[in-house]
């Protein structure tokens, strides 16, 4: 064991001379562990000293890459490298360097925050307020990491001002729609104005806009109640209950318990007085094979029966509802069969999902099992077809298209929840990542040999991003080393 430790130490010294600090750190850590196990305190001290030096040198090299990226105003990338240098220097006793690197990291966060903030300002000028607000929030999150509280407060004020102004503008649009009795549109805008106002941290504004939103809810509920009364006069109880149920949903949002209780009572009384008439319309819809309409009617009957706590009616309407779900599921499933036969697997999947959902609602196990198998078969065929396209793209040297197809095939096959098949598709995708990464890395080698370091960095970076997805630690380490080697040439 001592011989192995000596060999590791010697190789690490050579790595240090070659400036391969990453490899040196690995060897010295292994050597240090052996010396500690053997109780060789003198060698432990010597090895630990050399290891600290390796950490310091690696931190310094990574920090220089970060400095270069910072000069190029590539702050997001610089942050990643500064973070690495900070973590590395923490392994040493160099407090001064730790402070310096940490300060540089915080400065990168600050500059990146300003960059994002400028983008937000531009979007605000272009009146693209929604995206601008999201960017202001991002800039604040970044600035918090710089620990500059004054700057954070400045950005928060800017966000508050923009969000407040935008919320007021939306509210004015809502008022215009409300006056024109476009209540659906006004409701959408009132809700959005409150959502945006929440980001302003202006409590008074939020309160005022919320009151206007609640007013809109009440007006919509009143209009629905008026429509329901007309329908009742026409003996159209099912649609009347539907209108009243929608009105109830709006009233519930106002949190006015008294009005909620009153409307619930009105719906319950209407149902109890006209239960048979309401259900008869469901029977008529079922006979003419309008199963979707029958489901709506039977569902209303079922829910109202539950509220009245009439078990006999509950059981009867549940049976009628289940029967409608079953028939409707069969109709929808036939549409899925047609799409499958036409090899339109995406459409078939969507339809089979619907038919399976309806079969599940019917509670009929045999139907659920049958439709589940059809859905799975569709996904398998779709994934297989997509994988074939990916393999053809490789033959055509269209590697990026190939990867997109492999990724799509994997996402499709995951929905089958067959772990063995999923593993097979994942391996195909990782092979594609590796193949394209290898080719990019070789092109990076060519650019590096030609001293075109900027292009080399671009190619090595793309290769590294791909190889990371394979989770092959050996190759990840190699590609990172190649990328960093080229980065150092730019410093």
Do the Cβ atoms of 155 and 139 come closer than 8 Å?
yes
Give percent of the chain with pLDDT exceeding 70. Answer: 99
pLDDT for the residue numbered 488: 79
pLDDT for the residue numbered 264: 84
Confidence check: pLDDT of 347 > 90: yes
Tokens of 464: 């590294």
Q: 283 pLDDT band (50/70/90 cuts)? A: confident
Crossing angle between the packed helical segments 311-341 and 345-362, to the nearest 10 degrees: 160
CA distance 407 to 464: 18
Confidence check: pLDDT of 491 > 70: no
Least trusted range by pLDDT, from 187-201, 269-283, 336-350: 269-283
pLDDT for the residue numbered 232: 87
pLDDT for the residue numbered 432: 93
How many CB atoms are located within 10 Å of the residue 75 CB? 22
Do the Cβ atoms of 62 and 81 come closer than 8 Å?
yes
pLDDT for the residue numbered 366: 94
Confidence check: pLDDT of 162 > 80: yes
pLDDT for the residue numbered 351: 95
pLDDT for the residue numbered 307: 64
Confidence check: pLDDT of 459 > 70: yes
pLDDT in tens, 248-279: 889 999 888 999 889 888 887 887 777 777 77
Least trusted range by pLDDT, from 53-62, 191-200, 311-320, 414-423: 311-320
* Listed residue (336, 335, 423) closest to 382, CA to CA: 336
The answer for 343, left when phi > 0, alpha when psi is -120 to 50, beta otherwise, is: left
pLDDT in tens, 384-435: 999 999 999 988 889 889 999 999 999 999 999 999 999 999 999 999 999 9
pLDDT for the residue numbered 298: 79
pLDDT for the residue numbered 116: 94
192 vs 281, more confident: 192
How many CB atoms are located within 10 Å of the residue 395 CB? 8
CA 251 from chain centre, in angstroms, equals 33
At 25, give phi and psi (nearest 5°). -60, -45
Helices (H), 234-310: 237-254, 257-287, 291-308
Confidence check: pLDDT of 236 > 90: no
For residue 318, the surrounding DSSP H or E stretch is helix 311-341
Q: DSSP class of residue 472? A: -
pLDDT for the residue numbered 55: 92
pLDDT for the residue numbered 444: 92
Q: Could you tell me the pTM of the whole model?
A: 0.61
Tokens of 244: 């009243």
pLDDT in tens, 11-22: 999 988 888 888
pLDDT for the residue numbered 282: 78
At 256, give phi and psi (nearest 5°). -90, 95
Q: DSSP class of residue 256? A: -
- When pLDDT is averaged across residues 106-110 and rounded to a whole number, the result is 94
CA distance 87 to 71: 22
Q: 308 pLDDT band (50/70/90 cuts)? A: low
Confidence check: pLDDT of 182 > 80: yes
Q: pLDDT averaged over the chain?
A: 90
Q: 483 pLDDT band (50/70/90 cuts)? A: confident
- DSSP string spanning 9-43? HHHHHHHHHTT-HHHHHHHHHHHHHHHHHHT-HHH
pLDDT for the residue numbered 410: 95
Confidence check: pLDDT of 297 > 80: no
* Listed residue (383, 460, 392) closest to 432, CA to CA: 392
pLDDT for the residue numbered 329: 92
Tokens of 74: 């590539």
pLDDT for the residue numbered 413: 95
CA distance 466 to 482: 14
Helices (H), 129-148: 129-144
């Amino acid at each position: 064991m001592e011989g192995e430790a000596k060999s590791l130490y010697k190789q690490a010294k050579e790595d240090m001379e070659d400036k391969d600090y990453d490899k040196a750190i690995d060897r010295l850590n292994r050597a240090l562990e052996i010396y500690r196990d053997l109780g060789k305190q003198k060698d432990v001290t010597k090895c630990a000293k050399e290891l600290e030096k390796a950490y310091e040198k690696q931190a310094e090299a990574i920090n220089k890459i970060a400095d270069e990226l910072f000069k190029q105003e590539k702050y997001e990338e610089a942050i990643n490298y500064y973070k690495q240098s900070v973590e590395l220097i923490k392994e040493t006793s160099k407090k001064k360097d730790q402070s310096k690197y940490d300060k540089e990291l915080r400065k990168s966060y600050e500059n990146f925050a300003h960059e994002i903030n400028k983008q937000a300002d531009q979007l605000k000028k272009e009146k693209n307020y929604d995206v601008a607000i999201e960017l202001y929030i991002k800039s604040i999150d970044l600035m918090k990491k710089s620990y500059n509280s004054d700057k954070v407060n400045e950005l928060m004020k800017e966000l508050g001002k923009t969000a407040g102004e935008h919320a007021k503008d939306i509210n004015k649009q809502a008022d215009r729609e409300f006056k024109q009795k476009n209540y659906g549109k006004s409701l959408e805008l009132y809700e959005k104005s409150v959502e945006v106002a929440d980001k302003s941290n202006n409590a008074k504004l939020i309160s005022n806009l919320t009151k206007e939103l609640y007013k809109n809810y009440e007006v919509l509920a009143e209009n629905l109640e008026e429509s329901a009364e007309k329908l009742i006069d026409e003996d159209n109880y099912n649609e009347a209950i539907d209108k009243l149920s929608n009105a109830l949903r709006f009233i519930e949002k106002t949190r006015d318990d008294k009005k909620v209780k009153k409307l619930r009572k009105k719906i319950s009384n209407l149902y109890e007085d006209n239960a048979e008439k309401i259900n008869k319309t469901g029977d008529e819809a079922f006979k003419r094979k309008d199963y979707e309409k029958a489901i709506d009617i039977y569902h209303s009957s079922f829910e109202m029966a539950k509220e009245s706590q009439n078990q006999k009616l509950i059981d009867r309407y549940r049976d009628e509802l289940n029967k409608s779900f079953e028939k409707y599921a069969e109709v929808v499933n036939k549409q899925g069969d047609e799409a499958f036969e036409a090899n339109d697997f995406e459409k078939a999947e969507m339809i089979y999902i619907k038919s399976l959902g309806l079969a599940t609602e019917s509670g009929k196990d045999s139907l659920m099992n049958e439709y589940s198998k059809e859905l799975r078969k569709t996904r398998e065929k779709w994934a297989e077809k997509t994988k074939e396209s990916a393999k053809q793209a490789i033959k055509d040297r269209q590697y990026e298209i190939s990867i997109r197809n492999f990724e799509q095939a994997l996402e499709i096959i995951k929905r089958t929840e067959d772990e063995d098949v999923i593993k097979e598709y994942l391996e195909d995708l990782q092979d594609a990542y590796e193949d394209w990464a290898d080719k990019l890395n070789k092109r990076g080698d060519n650019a590096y040999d030609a001293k075109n370091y900027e292009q080399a960095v671009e190619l090595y970076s793309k290769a590294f991003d791909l190889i990371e997805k394979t989770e092959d630690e050996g190759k990840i380490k190699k590609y990172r080393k190649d990328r960093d080697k080229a980065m150092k040439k730019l410093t």
